[in-house]
């Protein structure tokens, strides 16, 4: 019984800390997106995802954004209205293929260029304070949790896109 309570307590800490970290980091990004580019966080997530995968289906985008299909579709319509993405029809007419327009590519490139070499997001100044081995362990644990809870496809996408960011 004591072991179960200890495990439940640890699970609570993991969940609560991850949720809090996500909220604070997302808010930092949200403020910068709105002030600098007039974008909402949900629309930017889609742009960000499409910058790595040039063409995706709505279902694939939904899977990576961790939202439902109707929310994904609403965000895509906003981006389409701004001429930032195109919503095309796949070979299977029930499937929609999404890709960035030239305007969308330019916007994402601008954001990446302005923030990938020096950033003022609070997260990065804190990451620099964490010992390299501790950060490596945290990433390993997070990767394990991601594989187990979100699946291989999501985790592989995160790793692949992280590797890409090292190269730009």
C-alpha distances (whole Å) from 143 to each of 39, 53, 55, 134, 158 are 29, 21, 25, 14, 9
- Determine the pLDDT at residue 122: 81
- Determine the pLDDT at residue 131: 97
- Determine the pLDDT at residue 165: 84
- Determine the pLDDT at residue 53: 87
Name which of 18, 57, 31, 34 is nearest 149 in CA terms: 18
- Determine the pLDDT at residue 104: 93
Which sequence spans correspond to the domains of the chain? 2-129, 130-168
Phi, psi of 80 (to 5 degrees): -65, -40
What CATH code would you report for 2-129?
Answer: 1.10.10.10
- Determine the pLDDT at residue 1: 73
Would you tell me how many other CB atoms lie within 10 Å of the CB of residue 121?
13
- Determine the pLDDT at residue 153: 92
Q: Residue ranges of the chain with pLDDT lower than 70?
A: 90, 92-93, 116-119
Report CA torsion sign: 75, 79, 82, 87: negative
- 100: CB partners within 8 A, 6+ apart: 47, 50, 51, 54, 84, 85, 86, 108
């Amino acid at each position: 019984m004591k072991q179960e309570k200890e495990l439940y307590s640890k699970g609570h800490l993991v969940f609560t800390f991850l949720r809090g970290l996500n909220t604070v980091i997302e808010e930092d990004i949200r403020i910068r997106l709105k002030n600098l580019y007039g974008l909402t966080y949900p629309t930017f997530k889609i742009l960000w995802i499409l910058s790595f995968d040039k063409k995706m289906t709505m279902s694939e985008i939904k899977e990576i954004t961790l939202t439902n299909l109707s929310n994904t579709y609403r965000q895509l319509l906003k981006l389409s209205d701004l001429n930032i993405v195109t919503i095309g029809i796949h070979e299977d007419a029930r499937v929609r293929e999404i890709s960035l327009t030239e305007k969308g590519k330019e916007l994402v490139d601008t954001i990446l260029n302005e923030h990938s070499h020096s950033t003022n997001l609070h997260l990065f100044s804190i990451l620099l304070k964490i010992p390299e081995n501790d950060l490596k362990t945290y990433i390993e644990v997070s990767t394990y949790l991601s594989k187990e809870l979100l699946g291989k496809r999501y985790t592989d996408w995160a790793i692949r896109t992280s590797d890409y960011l090292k190269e730009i």
